[in-house]
Amino acid sequence: MADGTFRLKVLLEKGEVHIHGNRAGLRDLANVCAALSALSDEEAKTAANHVIYADYMNSADDGSIPMMVCLTLDP
């Protein structure tokens, strides 16, 4: 089954965040999470510690709310 075009939509519905995506979009989100979790402590203190998904950045479908996926180090 082909993945097709990357699709990811982030919505806020009744106080809950909903992430809707096709296989390519969800795979990208999973890869971002994996890459962030692999950063060193030093890398995590830089701008490399996050990825933003937003429709105005062409990284999410039109109508999506902006979403930041960020590595936060344990205290």
List Cα–Cα distances, 40 to 30, 36, 37, 71, in angstroms: 18, 9, 8, 10
Are 74 and 53 spatial neighbours (Cβ–Cβ below 8 Å)? no
Rounded Cα distance, 13 and 33, in Å: 23
Query: Model's pTM, two decimal places?
Result: 0.87
Q: Which two tokens stand for residue 13?
A: 């519905």
Mean pLDDT of 4-11: 92
Q: Is the pLDDT of residue 8 over 50?
A: yes
pLDDT in tens, 43-64: 999 999 999 999 999 999 999 9
Categorize the per-residue pLDDT at 1 as very low, low, confident or very high, splitting at 50, 70 and 90: very low
pLDDT in tens, 15-42: 999 999 999 999 999 999 999 999 999 9
Q: Which residues contact 30 (CB under 8 A, 6 or more apart)?
A: none
